[in-house]
Structures are given as C-alpha cells and as structure tokens.
Amino acid sequence: MIEAIAEPGRFVDGAVLRPATDRPLATEATSVRPGRVSDLPQVYRWLMEAIDTSTHYGEDFKAFEKRRMSRELLRTLLEIDPWHVMILQLDDEPAGFFVSGPEHGVLVFYWTYIVPKHRNSRLAAYAIQAFADYWDNKQFHKIVSYVRPANLAPQVIGKRYGWREVAFLERHLFGQDFIMMEKPLSKRLPGYDGGLAMSRWQRWRLRLLSRLGR
C-alpha cells in the first residue's frame, strides 16, 4: 500500500541506488539497497507498526495483513529476489523499507514504511522512483498497488512519477473502497516469474539456511 512517495534516482552496478549527481535530492546521502537476512527483524517490527498505526484501514483488514505479512513471507520474498525487501537509507543507515511481491506476472507493491524523523525528507519520493528503476526492463509489465480514496498524498505524488489510477473498487477489501494504481514497466525478459512459489532448490536452500540460523 502506497503511504508516501522525491526526485528520480538511477540504478548503479546492481547494488545501491543513489540520486543522480546533477539533481541532488537533499543534504543526506540517500540510497536504497536489497534486503538482507539481518534486516528482517527490524523490517518485521516496522511492518507491524505500519499496519497498526495506519489510519486508512479497518481492523479486519489490519488483522488479515498482520497474518499475511509474516516473517516467513518476508524470508520467502528475500529468497525470490532480495529487492522485494528494499531497504531505504539515509547516510548509509536503514530508515525504512518497501516490500513487494510477484503475483500472476504482476509486481504488487505491498507496504512502505519510513521512520518518523525522516518523513519530511525526500527519501520516500526518491525511493519510489528508484524502486521502479530497478524493476524496469525485467519480467514485469507493471507495478500495482491499492490506495484508500481518502489517502490523497500518494495519489498526487504517485501521478507525478508515472503512476496512474486505473480503477475505483467499491467495497473491495473487507468492505472498504480502494483505488487501484499502477506504474507501467517495460518487460524485456521472456516468460513470467513463478509468483511466491519457490523452486525445489530454493526450498532446500531456505530450509538449510533456517537450520543454520541464517
């Protein structure tokens, strides 16, 4: 769910995204990177906080999301592609996350979070563009997310960065109305991902790492 959205960045060497030098975003060193196993406890705590404190969703929806967005799901997403748990940084310190996942050949933008002291920075807007930059020219046609109609800020800012409103969904999730927004991408890789289903090798590797405490 898009909760907040800064100037475009660019992808550098497959590891860290930083602002283009000719368009500085802020005085902070702003960057994003793929998630690591060591990030997951903090991401999970932030995710539960984001769900609990959101004023836009009903209690039934929140309860469902807290069950769905489990530690196991985060670890699975990390195994599929660590960029599904994208870490937002200021001065090389974690300051938030974007969590996404593959569903039916579409990239679904699940949740965002930025620590309160950085919510007036340009980190969120920079990250939303960096997120799209990473996933562009890969296996997805688009990114999809749902926004509550009363949550105006992400609608306005999202449209600034190429997101568009494609549907108004009445009583869609637990009786609440939602706006469906999407960001077109260029699909360059053949075929489609396997969704949240992992290969036999990935399942074996994940079990082994779990036993090793990783």
User: Does residue 201 belong to any structural domain of this protein?
Assistant: yes
d(CA 135, CA 130): 9
Q: Do 96 and 113 touch, CB atoms closer than 8 A?
A: yes
Following DSSP, what letter does each residue of 140-187 receive, concatenated?
A: -SEEEEEE-TT-HHHHHHHHHTT-EEEEEEEEEETTEEEEEEEEE---
d(CA 20, CA 18): 7
User: Does residue 55 belong to any structural domain of this protein?
Assistant: yes
Q: Could you tell me the pTM of the whole model?
A: 0.80
The CATH number linked to 172 is 3.40.630.30
d(CA 31, CA 91): 8
User: Does residue 4 belong to any structural domain of this protein?
Assistant: no
Q: Which residue has the higher pLDDT, 37 or 156?
A: 37
User: What per-residue confidence (pLDDT) applies to 101?
Assistant: 95
User: What per-residue confidence (pLDDT) applies to 28?
Assistant: 55
User: What per-residue confidence (pLDDT) applies to 25?
Assistant: 35
User: What per-residue confidence (pLDDT) applies to 200?
Assistant: 55
* Count of the separate structural domains present in the chain: 1
User: Does residue 88 belong to any structural domain of this protein?
Assistant: yes
User: Does residue 164 belong to any structural domain of this protein?
Assistant: yes
Model confidence over 141-181: pLDDT tens digits? Answer: 999 999 999 998 888 888 889 999 999 999 999 999 999 99
User: Does residue 20 belong to any structural domain of this protein?
Assistant: yes
Model confidence over 97-116: pLDDT tens digits? Answer: 999 999 988 999 999 999 99
User: What per-residue confidence (pLDDT) applies to 208?
Assistant: 55
Q: How far apart are the first and last CA of the chain?
A: 28
Residue 137 has pLDDT above 90, yes or no: yes
d(CA 143, CA 132): 8
Model confidence over 6-34: pLDDT tens digits? Answer: 332 323 333 344 443 333 334 357 899 99
Average pLDDT, the chain: 82
- Flag the least confident range among 79-83, 138-142, 168-172, 199-203: 199-203
Q: Which residues contact 156 (CB under 8 A, 6 or more apart)?
A: none
Domain limits for position 112: 9-211
User: Does residue 53 belong to any structural domain of this protein?
Assistant: yes
Q: Which residue has the higher pLDDT, 212 or 143?
A: 143
3-state secondary structure of 73: helix
Sheet holding 164-173, edge to edge: 9-12, 16-19, 30-34, 85-90, 93-103, 106-114, 142-147, 176-184, 164-173
User: Does residue 3 belong to any structural domain of this protein?
Assistant: no
d(CA 82, CA 84): 5
Residue 57 has pLDDT above 80, yes or no: yes
